[in-house]
């Protein structure tokens, strides 16, 4: 019953949104720390940007490294846990620059080309305050105000998933890789570098498990073959310069830098349940830096690639 009521509210909001000339309606969490730009009723796509925020409220303590508990051999992510231990319980604070505007630009492009605006969920807080791509303890250090923003972010993602389901859909988690020298685009499906290298990848361990289980194409085709997101990115060519992993040109990372996808891809994709698949997109700095000069080429290419991938699978 609760679910019915919720779904009705979402549809109602979305319908209202369609009557606005400006496009979409936005819901904010407390103090606009997190933001949900509600997509079109018939959109199958969700974009998240957890590391692109810059708000730095003084009421919220900065995150630190965690403390290592010698007895349980686990990290404790609390502000008064003792001595923060960078070596064992490192916490990343760096902003994925330009990823907030990249997510919005991709949504704008997709809306302009297809008439369907994706759902967009943004963390407006600096990563040094809250990290929406970690589990709750490491994300918020038990600080009530921070934890609330974190919960609102994930509730917005759940609302967007609910608006799409029971249809299948796709969540793209937008990130920026900081320091991998290859400067390629890394697509994370939760599959490890080693499994990609050894060709021992299994669809049921991936964040696109639902797609793999329901598609008439093989997992290899969908993951890094002629029906993969990597394929559509290479086809758009442009700014990618053939540097996408995994893709038909670069099926595995070898010894190169590679992120397999984090908390959002793991928990909001279809690995454990549901019909919404997820892929983490790590864009290298040179491509994101284009946005500093107002050059939208990368965002446009990425949007076109996503439209191609969605058209085949969703």
Ligand X SMILES: *[C@@H]1O[C@H](CO)[C@@H](O)[C@H](O)[C@H]1NC(C)=O
Residues that bind ligand X (CB under 6 A): 56, 62, 70, 82, 128, 237-238, 241
CB of 264 to ligand X, least distance (A): 22
Backbone φ, ψ for residue 145 (5° rounding): -65, -40
Tell me which of Zn ion, ligand X, none is bound by residue 51, counting a contact when its beta carbon lies within the kind-specific cut-off of 5 to 8 angstroms: Zn ion
Closest separation between CB of residue 81 and ligand X, Å? 9
Length of the chain: 314
Retrieve residue 93's tokens: 């604070």
Nearer to ligand X, 56 or 165 (CB): 56
User: Which tokens belong to 54?
Assistant: 């810059």
CB of 265 to Zn ion, least distance (A): 11
Dmax (CA) of the chain: 59
165 binds, among ligand X, Zn ion, none (CB under 5 to 8 A by kind): none
- With contact defined as beta carbons under 8 Å apart, do 178 and 259 qualify? no
The answer to whether the Cα torsion of 55, 60, 62, 65 is positive or negative is negative
Q: Which is nearer to Zn ion, 156 or 219 (CB)?
A: 156
Residue 161 binds which entry of Zn ion, ligand X, none, CB below 5-8 Å type-dependent: none
For residue 96, the partner it binds in ligand X, Zn ion, none, with Cβ less than 5 to 8 A by kind, is Zn ion
**Residues found near Zn ion in the complex (CB under 5 A):** 51, 96, 175
DSSP 3-state of 24: coil
Q: How far is the CB of 314 from ligand X (least distance, A)?
A: 26
- Here the tokens at position 8 are 């009705």
Give the end-to-end CA distance of the chain in Å, rounded to a whole number: 28
- Which of ligand X, Zn ion, none does residue 62 bind to, with CB < 5 to 8 Å depending on kind? ligand X
- For ligand X, the closer CB: 79 or 113: 79
Which residues touch 2 (CB under 8 Å, ≥6 apart)?
none
Min dist CB 309 to ligand X, Å, is 19
């Amino acid at each position: 019953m609760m679910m019915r009521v919720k779904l009705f509210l979402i549809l109602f909001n979305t319908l209202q949104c369609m009557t606005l000339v400006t496009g979409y309606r936005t819901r904010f969490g407390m103090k606009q720390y997190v933001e949900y730009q509600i997509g079109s009723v018939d959109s199958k796509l969700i974009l998240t940007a957890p590391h692109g925020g810059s708000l730095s409220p003084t009421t919220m303590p900065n995150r630190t490294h965690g403390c290592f508990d010698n007895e349980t051999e686990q990290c404790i992510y609390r502000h008064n846990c003792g001595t923060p231990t960078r070596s064992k319980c490192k916490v990343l604070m760096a902003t994925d620059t330009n990823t907030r505007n990249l997510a919005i630009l991709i949504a704008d492009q997709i809306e302009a080309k297809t008439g369907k605006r994706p759902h967009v969920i943004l963390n407006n807080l600096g990563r040094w305050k809250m990290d929406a791509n970690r589990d709750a303890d490491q994300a918020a250090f038990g600080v009530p105000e921070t934890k609330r923003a974190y919960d609102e972010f994930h509730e917005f993602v759940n609302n967007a998933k609910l608006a799409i389901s029971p249809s299948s859909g796709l969540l793209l988690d937008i990130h920026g890789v900081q320091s991998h020298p290859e400067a390629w685009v890394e697509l994370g499906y939760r599959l490890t570098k080693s499994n990609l290298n050894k060709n021992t990848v299994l669809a049921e361990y991936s964040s696109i498990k639902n797609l793999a289980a329901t598609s008439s194409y093989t997992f290899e085709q969908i993951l890094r073959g002629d029906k993969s997101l990597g394929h559509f990115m290479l086809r758009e060519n442009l700014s990618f310069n053939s540097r996408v992993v995994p893709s038909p040109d670069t099926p595995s990372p070898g010894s190169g830098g590679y992120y397999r996808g984090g908390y959002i891809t793991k928990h909001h994709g279809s690995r454990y349940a549901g019909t919404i698949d997820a892929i983490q997109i790590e864009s290298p700095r040179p491509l994101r830096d284009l946005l500093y000069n107002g050059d939208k080429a990368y965002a446009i290419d990425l949007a076109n690639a996503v439209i191609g991938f969605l058209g085949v699978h969703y």
